[in-house]
Amino acid sequence: MSLTRFQLYIDGAFVDAENTFESLDPATGRAWALMPAAGEAEVNRAVEAADRAFHDPAWAGLTATQRGRLLMKLGDLVAEHAVRLAELETRDTGKIIRETKAQIGYVADYYRYFGGLADKVQGAHLPIDKPDMEVFTRREPIGVVAAIVPWNSQLFLSAVKLGPALAAGCTVVLKASEDGPAPLLEFARLVDEAGFPKGVVNILTGFGEPAGRALTSHPLVSRVAFTGGPATARHVVRNTAENLAHTTLELGGKSPVLVFADADLDSVSNAIIAGIFAATGQSCVAGSRLYVERSAHDRLVEILKAKAAKIRIGDPQDPATEMGPLATLRQREHIEAVLARSLAAGARIACGGGRPAGLPEGWFFEPTIVTAADNAVPCVAEELFGPVLSVVPFDTEEEAVAKANDTRFGLASGVFTASLTRAHRLIRRLRAGIVWVNTYRAVSPIVPFGGYGQSGLGREGGAESILDYTRTKSVWIRTSDDPIPDPFVMR
């Protein structure tokens, strides 16, 4: 079978890379596409193209409103081609088609939101303490942006970087993951069709070495926006020591969900199932640590077991499928290894825990629920990035907070309770960038997100995110017509 070939998008043209690699279909484990692997030469070409475009009047001369219109058009094109993009994402990552279609349709709203935000960035008049002076500030684009995204939710994670960067007037080199890059390389066609001047957006894929290193350390890069794991983030931070680029990091999570006995457990169970088994658990905000008040623990575990057992696992392209495969073989092997260590540490598998019967090909793994006594068990402490829910009981609110905060991560959290006063107490005490109360995994372009601790630095989304792609320029204007005094004459 011939493999589908993809190309890089550099300086407004689709080009081949010197090297290529095969992309594997997670549902079968077989190669289906040939991807370009950008090297240092291609990265240099892309960054240099972005730098030229940043200074070119074709882009730099546009008004903020005109930039916004281009983003609006891009959003419309994403919506128009959502089915094609969804099919590619499902094929290349194993994420089920019902999820990719829904998410990509909503991604269009992010580009529209940032398009509307483009001409809302303002400076300020300063009431200066000096007479005969007018002083004001301007917000100007920071320059060339290196945006790096992982394979999961890549169109969404690209939108929260590309959207504010382009709205602010920056230019971008976007690097897709070497795992499942097809939808972003296809997305480049929509950027081209939208009419952005050449070089404003460049889209590559390739490996961390050399492409990631060359991009994040490039002397012409002024801003790095990275989403991925903490280990890679440390390399990114070291690389930016070379160019001192302003850097934001959206990293992993081991998000706690706290359920109190006064909550509606049947309703709660639906949110928990969606929070951990959607996207096969491969989400940075997956609610993978479940803390349940002891009096409700056994009942909730039984409800969750019954729901997990009914999840339909299979072909991700089938609209009836409810959970697809993991994206990579190494991820499944990682989960299996952590579960083995967890069982040795005293955890018990309530359901799942292995490869589903009847699916000999691909990287499938059952929806799994593990019960554990405390946070010391490996599957409770470590990010698995898969469909594994760890359940731990608690007796008091104080204990629940302590267990929830006992982590090096801090991206998201959830609270389920009928008590409004308890909810407000926990909102203040949970160390996480997001707190969902009686809901889970809701997002909006209007709302910022980001983490505490090793879940990252900075925030993405929301109106303030555009400011991270600007610099402040201070302007002083002397308004007196009198000659400037001689500085060496004392008065």
- E-state strands within 142-294: 144-148, 171-176, 201-205, 221-227, 246-250, 256-259, 289-293
Question: Is-catalytic flag, 42?
Answer: no
Catalytic residue among 42, 99, 186, 250: 250
Distance CA 36, CA 207 (A): 10
One pLDDT digit (tens) per residue for the chain, 491 residues: 689 999 999 999 999 999 999 999 999 999 999 999 999 999 999 999 999 999 999 999 999 999 999 999 999 999 999 999 999 999 999 999 999 999 998 999 999 999 999 999 999 999 999 999 999 999 999 999 999 999 999 999 999 999 999 999 999 999 999 999 999 999 999 999 999 999 999 999 999 999 999 999 999 999 999 999 999 999 999 999 999 999 999 998 999 999 999 999 999 999 999 999 999 999 999 999 999 999 999 999 999 999 999 999 999 999 999 999 999 999 999 999 999 999 999 999 999 999 999 999 999 999 999 999 999 999 999 999 999 999 999 999 999 999 999 999 999 999 999 999 999 999 999 999 999 999 999 999 999 999 999 999 999 999 999 999 999 999 999 999 999 989 898 76
Distance CA 258, CA 415 (A): 5
Domain annotation for the chain: domains and CATH numbers:
4-251+451-475 (3.40.605.10), 256-437 (3.40.309.10)
Residue that has been written with the tokens 């060359």 in this structure? 214
Q: Report H helices in 169-212.
A: 182-194
Residue that has been written with the tokens 């803390």 in this structure? 291
Tokens describing residue 62: 């546009």
